[in-house]
Structure 1
């Protein structure tokens, strides 16, 4: 239940306080940084050069090719300037409004109470010019909302803190975080941070990415190229280049991971997680803890020799899927030992110790479904979360707080019906489901009822925590699906 507001002390006894951040009214419309067209033009230059193939260079000659590039770059720059002149933003009440477009005007109104996370992103060109890009994630957003590119670092940090304050997530503080990176906070008000939870060693990050199937397959790919070229010296240059390009594509994912997670640092304050990471493109991300839908722990096969695992977040409203945009916004611990993972997970899920979870496997008769992986499947219920474990080579543990569960489903397929078992799914607002696989039928119905009841009790215990609701409902439903 929401506690009643405290009474305001009499005027003669009230101490002087700093005026709060204004959350109502309309302020003048503001534009992006004047250098924004230059950076957008530079992006266009890369696309233009990539579009004009070497075949075109050979056909038209260097002079005409350079003239084509200059004309296209000039046109792209003029268009960027016109776009910048017709783009603006301001805060009206509890909304951030973004205006853009020349021929077709468009206004986006983003309700700040639906704000999920805010990122201050600095691509390489932005770092060289002292600028930053602000990206917002909101509930139900199919993509990142209102990417304000570009602002000065000070303006981006100040706007981020103001949006979070209006959304009721956190407030700016004059105190800097320990060891703040000057490249991220120069000229800006640093975030309010109480404790630094994690600093990932870059050496461990590189080693962890070397212990991936992509990196281990590199010597095999190089050996195949050398053998083919040795046995067939007439093998064309195009064949060699194509094979090397394919090898480079295999290595792209671990290289991107290293560049993305470089200098990874994590803080936790009263209401949010603060993350900073990146080498070529630096990011300062703020994720309100009450928007986290779940935490996933993953043990890749080759990492187990070092006892390493990684933690990722499910955040309501974050756009993208695994391997896409979401891969840039779901990180919590890129690589770490179990004791570090326990400390980091406890900052998001208080009272939860990942290494101490005791999982109950499915009944022995389900070995026909999972002859090798059955001992690795399991379900654990604690006072705060439901956890599921699965995976034979790459083991994963998904942990969902009861308060984040939106619905519970009991699903029983034809083969499961023969063995008297069923699977229970606990769904969240993020779209992620915890699958309690192949439980005894009586146990499955008990689990479904227990999860629904615990979820309802958890929501009633903290009704104002801002948990995303489907249609505004706070109740859970148990749905039976029997094919």
Structure 2
């Protein structure tokens, strides 16, 4: 079987089984410059110090001066060559292919790796541009499949235009739109409509009115007390590394969320953010498994909320400062409702603003929320009236927390499993916790301290609602459902949700 490699094709097309592509030839430099710079810094630092202190002599007769310099130069040169060859070989043996149904990536020199992902299982696609890649007009294409975030597939690096065309083609196939291999120009990036943008002042303010600032104030107070008690101002020197770390935390938060913009397109919700490293994130329709809205007490005077999402494939999102699961880093109630409408267009109630506002603000049973009974005050005296739930026609809303308010929204069709938990003290008070299990992520839906009767009723009713919603929402190809013709693809029907009822001591 013959093999065709295309290093720089002017237009992207879906591939046959014999056609393969390579990433951009500059990719080894973009990926490896940090390692080379680190080697030069480590081995060249001594020579530079010697040069500025006058101990380095360029003459061959100087005693002990020339040999170390030659050795250091040789080590640095060898390291640069080794890194260069290794990155070149990594580029040479990395190939990718996009067919109508799959994405294939082959990589590795000694240990070969062949990976394949079904396009209809793609959960989200990011176009990432680190600072050095932006200088060369390159981007990394990163896409997730429904595997809990353990095996994200990356193509590092492609021309920015090529990465966008590739993203458009993958999303078109995931949506159920047929791509004509003879007409690659038909694969165009879907237009987007601007929804909202956060001003730099909001991003900076949200960073400084955060837990990082509280930690900094605690450190300052502890340092002042230590100095006053001991009478040794030198103690402040020990605090300097801590404040360097705090400054770095502020910088990371601000640069990650800077220029945050939300847009919508036929491909799904698009998020644009980043200062030094920019990211264009696309979440296709129906890929959001759960939405979490939270508010800290520091943000309450400003009326700001933070919105997280669970997306199959992102997992716990421990990398990238957790920014990939953030749908809105700091938004007003109106902005929260706007982005919530993008990922959850049918709230299942006639007055969604009032219902969701009650879920975020008010205690009690206003707007149909069912809260914890009075016996819950013995084990949860501060927040027992804030623990509540409400089921709409399309989703379950879980509310808890008084100081740190949280509202969690889970579409019925995204229910993975259910659980009831009860310890001995809760059993004595006639209480139970209801758990709704979602995919791995920052949101863990939970209703605390319900009455046993309400818990059992919710358990049984939610199981029926989830099963019914899954039968209705089996088609994951959103444009195919709208009548856009598509080529045959493998079935994407998911297994019905599991149910579990736990009672522990």
State the alpha-carbon separation in 2 of the partners of residues 320 and 427 from structure 1.
14
Residues 97-112 of structure 1 mapped to structure 2, 5 A cutoff: 97-112=104-119
What secondary structure does 1:71 align onto?
A: helix
Pairs within 5 Å for 1:61-140: 63=69, 65=72, 67-140=74-147
**CA deviation after TM superposition for structure 1 residue 192, in Å:** 1.8
Query: Residues 422 and 379 from structure 1, CA distance in 2 versus in 1: closer, same or farther, beyond 3 angstroms?
Result: same
1:213 — aligned with what? 211
Change beyond 3 A, Cα 1:434–1:51: farther
Equivalences for residues 308-319 of structure 1 within 5 A: 308-319=304-315
Instruction: Tell me the residue number matched to 1:25.
Output: 16
Change (3 A) 1:127 1:119: same
Cα distance in 1, alignment partners of residues 221 and 146 from structure 2? 49
Structure 1 residue 106: Cα displacement: 1.7
| Aligned counterpart in structure 2 of residue 301 of structure 1, from 297, 301, 304 | 297
Residue 395, structure 1, aligned to residue 402, structure 2: no
Q: Say yes or no: does 1:324 pair with 2:311.
A: no
Counterpart of 2:378 in structure 1 is: 368
Which residue does the alignment assign to 1:479?
501
The answer to which of 323-332 and 197-206 deviates more is 323-332
**1:256 & 1:282 partners in 2: Cα distance?**
13
Q: Distance in 1 between matches of 2:260 and 2:178?
A: 23
Is this contact kept in 2: 1:425–1:436, CA < 8 A? yes
Deviation at 1:67, TM superposition (A): 4.8
Matched, 1:415 2:413: no
Q: Distance in 2 between the 1:365 and 1:451 partners? A: 24
Report the Cα distance in structure 2 between the residues aligned to 1:71 and 1:41, rounded to whole angstroms.
15
**Shift of the alpha carbon at 1:393?**
2.6
**Corresponding position of 2:388:** 378
- For residues 176-215 of structure 1, the C-alpha deviation after alignment (integer angstroms, 9 at most, x for no partner) is xxxxxxxxxxxxx874235211111111110111101312
Query: Deviation digits for residues 58-97 of structure 1, max 9, x if unmatched?
Result: 7998945555334322321121111111111112441111
Partner of 1:201: 199
Aligned residue-pair number:
441
Say whether the 8 Å CA contact 1:24–1:94 is kept in structure 2: no
C-alpha contact (below 8 Å) 1:422/1:440 kept by paired residues: yes
- Work out the CA distance in 1 between the residues paired with 2:178 and 2:33: 35
Deviation at 1:163, TM superposition (A): 1.2
Give the whole-Å Cα distance in 1 for the aligned partners of 2:265 and 2:126.
16
Structure 2 partner of 1:451: 462
Deviation readout 1:427-457 (Å, 9 max, x if unpaired): 1234654212111111111000111111112
2:140–2:154 contact (8 Å) kept in structure 1: yes
Tell me by how many angstroms 1:55 deviates: 8.0
Give the direction of change, closer, same or farther, for the CA distance of 1:52–1:146 in structure 2 (3 Å limit): farther
Within the candidate set 202, 222, 246, 1:250 is matched to 246
- Per the alignment, residue 165 of structure 1 pairs with 172
Once structures 1 and 2 are overlaid, which stretch shifts more, 441-450 or 357-366? 357-366
- The answer as to 2:353 corresponding to 1:355 is no
- How far 1:243 moved relative to its partner? 2.4
SS of aligned partner of 1:425: strand
Distance between the aligned counterparts of 1:371 and 1:51, measured in 2? Answer: 57
Secondary structure in structure 2 of the residue aligned to 1:393: coil
Aligned residue for 1:151, secondary structure, equals strand
Cα shift readout 1:31-66 (whole Å, capped 9, x = no counterpart): 110101111220212443676696898799894555
**1:120 to 1:70, Cα distance in 2 relative to 1, 3 A:** same
Structure 1 CA distance, aligned partners of 2:500 and 2:392?
A: 20
Residue 388 of structure 1, CA deviation: 1.2
The 5-angstrom pairing of residues 453-468 of structure 1 reads 453-465=464-476
**Matching of residue 333 in structure 1 with residue 340 in structure 2:** no
What is the match of residue 151 of structure 1? 158
Residue 465 of structure 1: CA displacement? 3.1
Distance (whole Å) between structure 1 residues aligned to residue 343 and residue 254 of structure 2? 24
Change (3 A) 1:336 1:141: closer
8 Å contact from structure 1 (residues 171, 192) kept in 2: no
Alignment correspondent of 1:232: 232
Higher RCO (CA < 8 A, seq sep 6+): 2
What TM-score results when the alignment is normalised by the length of structure 1? Answer: 0.82
- Which residue among 32, 36, 39 is the counterpart of 1:45? 36
Contact 1:144–1:319 at 8 Å: present in 2 too?
no
**SS of residue matched to 2:371:** coil
Partners of 1:119 and 1:285 within 8 A in 2: yes
TM-score (normalizing by structure 2): 0.79
Deviation at 1:366, TM superposition (A): 0.9
Judge conservation of contact 1:456–1:476 (CA < 8 Å) in 2: no
Match of 1:280 among 257, 273, 276: 276
Q: Give the Å deviation of 1:143.
A: 3.0
